[in-house]
Amino acid sequence: KIEFGTDYSPDVSYHFNSKVSEFHYGVRHPMKPFRLMLTDHLVSGYGLHNYMDLYETRAASREELLEFHSKDYIDFLSKVTPDTVSKLPRGSLEKFNIGDDCPIFQGFYDYSVLYAGASLDASRKLLNGQSEIAINWSGGLHHAKKSSPSGFCYVNDIVLSIINLLRFHPRVLYIDIDIHHGDGVQEAFYTTDRVFTVSFHKYNGEFFPGTGNFDELGCSEGKHFALNVPLEDGIDDDSYINLFKGVMDPLITSYKPTVIIQQCGADSLGHDRLGCFNLNIKAHGECVKFIKSFGIPMLVVGGGGYTPRNVSRLWTYETGILSGMILPESLPEDSPFREWFGPDYSLYPTLGDLYENKNSKKFLENVRIRCLERIRYLQG
Ligand code: ZLV
Ligand code: CA
Ligand code: ZN
């Protein structure tokens, strides 16, 4: 049975519209919205729904999308369909970066406004004080730009939510532990000191999206308010946790955010179909637990994650952490998708054994020191 943990149980809300999990990017496409259905079934199978406020969310409106995205782009997205895409004038697919990563699949606009609507709903509950922590696992699509989709992301629910939070919050901290660089969010707030963006990711100049080197630190008013933590393949639990805590503790203490948004991309786990790190579920969750321990209002979103059985285990475990509940290791027995979780049927399968750790102690220590030097700038 599920038990109360010893740490504080805040007011937590869970924002979801199950329709979002019914869309398909295409048979060979790695992004599977179905992972959200698996997650929702595990969360409710464990009984976690009883310890959170549940909201069935509405789609984001056109006006809400225009707070960040260009009118041209939203007009295009809302009009194009799989049937009309082939009849568009030459150049328009290139203009809007439509292609294999971001296909025009059946209902892709409805899908986009649904995941964005859930993040906006979560941000509203934080703003009106009804929630201390608000969760939307269908969000976290951090690559979308003002006028183009990118990396499986059509609209940027994170940027939209941050813009909403900025109405009342003087300083917003964005933390991104997806294996990919959070480029869309970084770019949107690159010139402001009211949003600090930090992303941990694989970086070699080639790995998608190709950005996120340490030297990207923001510009004009925003100089020193973006931090990038570039990593090599195969990073393990202890190295990641040490680096994450060693950087985030002084960053939060110095920047003093009034609200935090954490993107919990699950492609930083080991055995991910696209990723190449060695993180186990408990280590990823430890990063979430650590940020929760500061007691600052938090918006928590999903993101990448391409091995659905592990994505759903991770986000269920993290829902437990955020709501202050301890989950038994053995997965709920009466869940409709139980066969997805064999042969172990455990919340914590071994995921840290696939890659050689290419991050030497010396390299990681150097990354940590350089981050601390950057953070010192905030202390004046
Ligand atoms: O997890 O893609 O490498 C948040 C997120 O951060 C690329 N895309 C681009 C650059 C040239 N291409 C390749 C185009 C391939 C299109 C289809 C795949 C299909 C099958 C298997 C893997 C991929 C794929 N695509 C792997 N990596 C890519 C990246 C985009 C990664 C987006 C991560 C999104 C949700
Ligand atoms: Ca990242
Ligand atoms: Zn990713």
Distance CA 116, CA 307 (A): 23
Ligand 1 pocket, residue 265 CB under 6 Å? yes
- pLDDT value of position 380: 74
- pLDDT value of position 335: 87
Ligand 1 pocket, residue 151 CB under 6 Å? yes
Mean pLDDT of 277-282: 98
Q: Is the pLDDT of residue 94 over 90?
A: no
Distance CA 271, CA 344 (A): 15
Query: In testing the pocket of ligand 1, which one of 94, 274, 315 has its CB within 8 Å of the most ligand atoms?
Result: 274
Ligand 1 pocket, residue 105 CB under 6 Å? no
Mean pLDDT of 192-219: 98
How far does residue 335's CA lie from ligand 3's centre (Å)?
27
pLDDT single digits (tens) 22-64: 999 999 999 999 999 999 999 999 999 999 999 999 999 999 9
Distance CA 318, CA 173 (A): 19
pLDDT band with cut points at 50, 70 and 90 for residue 13: very high
How far does residue 91's CA lie from ligand 1's centre (Å)?
22
How far does residue 265's CA lie from ligand 3's centre (Å)?
6
| pTM, two decimal places | 0.98
CATH of the domain at 364: 3.40.800.20
Q: Between vectors from CA 175 to CA 170 and to CA 178, what angle results, nearest 5°?
A: 155
Distance CA 166, CA 146 (A): 18
How far does residue 2's CA lie from ligand 2's centre (Å)?
31
pLDDT single digits (tens) 314-342: 999 999 999 999 999 999 998 899 999 99
Q: Is the pLDDT of residue 304 over 90?
A: yes
Ligand 1 pocket, residue 303 CB under 6 Å? yes
- pLDDT value of position 97: 85
Q: Is the pLDDT of residue 80 over 80?
A: yes
pLDDT band with cut points at 50, 70 and 90 for residue 90: confident
Q: What is the mean pLDDT of the chain?
A: 97
pLDDT band with cut points at 50, 70 and 90 for residue 231: very high
Distance CA 146, CA 136 (A): 21
Q: What percent of the chain has pLDDT over 90?
A: 94
Of all atoms in ligand 1, which is nearest to the CA of residue 274?
A: 26
- pLDDT value of position 96: 83
Strand partners, 230: 201
Catalytic residues: 181
DSSP secondary structure string for all residues of 48-88: GGGGSEEEEPPPPPHHHHTTTS-HHHHHHHHH--TTTGGGS
How large is the ipTM? 0.98
User: Closest ligand to 174 CA?
Assistant: 2
Ligand 1 pocket, residue 272 CB under 6 Å? no
- pLDDT value of position 288: 98
- pLDDT value of position 274: 98
Ligand 1 pocket, residue 3 CB under 6 Å? no
Minimum CA distance residue for ligand 1 atom 5? 304
Question: Which residues, other chains included, contact 24 with Cβ-Cβ below 8 Å and sequence gap of 6+?
Answer: 33, 105, 106
**Nearest in space to 35 (alpha carbons), one of 203, 134, 152:** 152
User: Closest ligand to 230 CA?
Assistant: 2
- pLDDT value of position 91: 85
User: Closest ligand to 207 CA?
Assistant: 1
Place of tokens 């606009």: 109
- pLDDT value of position 197: 99
Q: Is the pLDDT of residue 9 over 90?
A: no
Write out 239-288 in H/E/C secondary structure: HHHHHHHHHHHHHHHHHCCCEEEEECCHHHECCCCCCCCCECHHHHHHHH
Range of 189's domain?
3-379
DSSP secondary structure string for all residues of 150-167: BTTBSS-HHHHHHHHHTT
Distance of CA 228 to the CA centre of its chain: 16
How far does residue 306's CA lie from ligand 1's centre (Å)?
11
Distance CA 35, CA 306 (A): 9
The runs of H, that is alpha helices, within the chain are: 34-45, 62-65, 71-79, 92-95, 108-127, 157-165, 183-188, 237-255, 281-292, 308-323, 361-376
Total number of domains in the chain: 1
Ligand 1 pocket, residue 302 CB under 6 Å? no
210: phi then psi, degrees, rounded to nearest 5: 95, -15
DSSP 195: E
